[in-house]
Amino acid sequence: MPGTTNLPTLGRQSLPRQPNHQAAAYPQSYYAATRYEATERGSLTRPTEADVCVIGGGLAGLTTALELQRRGQETVLLEANRIGWGASGRNGGFVSAGYSEGLSAITAKSGLEDARALYRLSREGAAYVRQRVAAEPEAGIGLVEGRLSVLRIDGADRTKRMRDRMEKDFEHAMVYWPTDRVRAALQTKRYFQGLQDPEGFHIHPLNYALALAREAEQAGVAIYEATRALALEREGGRHVVRCAAGGYVTARELVFCTSGYEGHLFSPLTRAILPIATYMIASRTLSEDERQAISLPYAISDERRAGDYYRLYRDRLLWGGRITTRREEPKALGRLLKQDVSSVYPSLSRLQLAYAWSGLMGYALHKMPLIGPCGADAHGDGPPQDGLWMATGFGGHGLNTTAMAGELIASAIAEKDDRWKLFRPYPRQPVGGRLGQAAVQLTYWAMQLRDWLDERRTG
């Protein structure tokens, strides 16, 4: 970061806002079409200053900014496009405890005691979302209770073992569903047993992000859309973030919440995050006949390594699935996912689609989020001397973990809370560029093949 001198700064609140010219529009998704407000926030075109500058206006950035401001830290949030434009406004909407990485791997690496503490944090993240949704009854977030994970390979014993382990090791009571109960609720022979998480729920994620943004602004956060952070400089011990629209922010600390859309802003993070795409569709209003297929309003997923995730939401079916390192959206995205739907529910083979879209998740190699200091002194014992923080890499389990990370980073900055240290066994590490991407894609194909063979062998 080259140094600069004599940059003039203005107070935060006195800034003029320009019309929003450069933001990419929301993708044509069910969520964008049903968002509860269309407020456009202007770009940052002048200098400003803050205690903390948060980069990225997804759920991680929004929660971090809200929680910082609540703790008395003057905060500016920069979003390159629109609030919730990234994965946060495009996802499946499932909210439940846990991480992208499985609990066995976390326990193997962190030990049982820390794995328990990590799990508790992830659970608090889900509880945080529930609380915020309750505080915003008019925001169209539409919380629906219920979360069920189903097996595509017969496995009563292993499902019961999993339930017992969750209760014994993680004090989380799950409910075992035998195959006949699953098949009474879901009209398909593809599924066997299930595990219900009574704490799980699902929401309208874009409306949640927009409500968080409004709450953050009411608390005093200055939010700029169409404001891509382009370059980082250092001046007199403070950070200077130069933005695409000509403005810049001078701040004591920076928090990177840029996930799979990071681009090339901060190379240690660019190298540490692998963007992985996943797809979603939304049906038109379901007919009475179609509604018979899924008589359960829960968030449902199967337990394959990259399985289907779907839910009835309001009067439609929202269905997601597949992962790939390819960033371009396939032309036949809708058709691909429709095939997935009818391979599980043949009675839905004539499903009419209204929307099909994709989104990028940010993954670290270890599949755990990157939370904590991220600059040159990231490996020191205390808070970073250079004031650089990250809250990113939430993978496909980000609705609860972004909330958790926002609280952790805000309390680390404002109150010297050091719970982020639980994430030290999961540091940022290079993902290996294009070679790394190719390796991940190969691993994914191998996993798909293994799932397919397993199902043929046992089914």
Ligand X SMILES: Cc1cc2nc3c(=O)[nH]c(=O)nc-3n(C[C@H](O)[C@H](O)[C@H](O)COP(=O)(O)OP(=O)(O)OC[C@H]3O[C@@H](n4cnc5c(N)ncnc54)[C@H](O)[C@@H]3O)c2cc1C
Q: Please say which residue, 307 or 320, places its beta carbon nearer to ligand X.
A: 320
Element (H, E) at 70: helix 59-70
Q: Please say which residue, 55 or 139, places its beta carbon nearer to ligand X.
A: 55
Query: How far is C-alpha 330 from the geometric centre of its chain's CA atoms?
Result: 22
Q: How far apart are CA 76 and CA 35, in angstroms?
A: 24
Query: How far is C-alpha 385 from the geometric centre of its chain's CA atoms?
Result: 28
Q: How far is the CB of 55 from ligand X (least distance, A)?
A: 5
Q: How far apart are CA 427 and CA 390, in angstroms?
A: 11
- Beta carbons within 10 angstroms of residue 306's beta carbon: 16
Q: Please say which residue, 334 or 395, places its beta carbon nearer to ligand X.
A: 395
Residue 288 Cα distances to 189, 285, 293, 344, 353, angstroms: 21, 10, 10, 19, 16
457, amino acid identity:
R
Q: Please say which residue, 58 or 373, places its beta carbon nearer to ligand X.
A: 58
Q: Please say which residue, 179 or 280, places its beta carbon nearer to ligand X.
A: 280
Q: Print burial letters for 36-75: b (CB count within 10 Å at least 16), e (below 16).
A: beeeebbbbbbbbbbbbbbbbbbbbbbbbbbbbbbbebbb
Q: Which residues contact ligand X (rule: CB under 6 A)?
A: 55-61, 78-81, 85-88, 90-94, 228-229, 257-263, 265, 278, 280, 309, 320, 359, 361, 392, 394-399, 402
Q: Please say which residue, 38 or 435, places its beta carbon nearer to ligand X.
A: 38
Q: How far is the CB of 453 from ligand X (least distance, A)?
A: 26
Q: How far is the CB of 298 from ligand X (least distance, A)?
A: 12
- Beta carbons within 10 angstroms of residue 262's beta carbon: 24
Q: Please say which residue, 85 or 345, places its beta carbon nearer to ligand X.
A: 85
Q: Please say which residue, 179 or 407, places its beta carbon nearer to ligand X.
A: 407
Backbone phi, psi, residue 321, to 5°: 175, 180
Query: How far is C-alpha 21 from the geometric centre of its chain's CA atoms?
Result: 26
**Is 317 within 8 Å of 289 (Cβ atoms)?**
no
Q: How far is the CB of 337 from ligand X (least distance, A)?
A: 11
Question: Would you call 165 helix, strand, or coil by DSSP?
Answer: helix
Contacts of 62 (CB under 8 A, 6+ apart): 77, 83, 84, 88, 209, 212, 213, 216, 406
Tokens read off for 267: 């190379």
Q: How far is the CB of 357 from ligand X (least distance, A)?
A: 8
Q: Please say which residue, 193 or 278, places its beta carbon nearer to ligand X.
A: 278
Q: How far is the CB of 444 from ligand X (least distance, A)?
A: 15
Q: How far is the CB of 140 from ligand X (least distance, A)?
A: 18
Residue 319 Cα distances to 27, 307, 381, angstroms: 16, 11, 44
Q: Please say which residue, 182 or 255, places its beta carbon nearer to ligand X.
A: 255
Residue with tokens 């289907």: 308
Q: How far is the CB of 264 from ligand X (least distance, A)?
A: 9
The per-type count for the chain, helices as H runs and strands as E runs, is 12, 19
Residue nearest to ligand X (CB): 398
In three-state form (DSSP H/G/I as H, E/B as E, the rest C), the secondary structure along 391-416 is: EECCCCCHHHHHHHHHHHHHHHHHHC
Q: How far is the CB of 222 from ligand X (least distance, A)?
A: 14
Contacts 24+ apart (CB under 8 A), 337-343: 337/279, 337/280, 337/281, 338/281, 340/308, 341/281, 341/310, 341/317, 343/190
Q: How far is the CB of 248 from ligand X (least distance, A)?
A: 12
Q: Please say which residue, 105 or 154, places its beta carbon nearer to ligand X.
A: 105
Q: How far is the CB of 332 from ligand X (least distance, A)?
A: 17
Nearest residue to 94 via CA among 339, 382, 308:
308
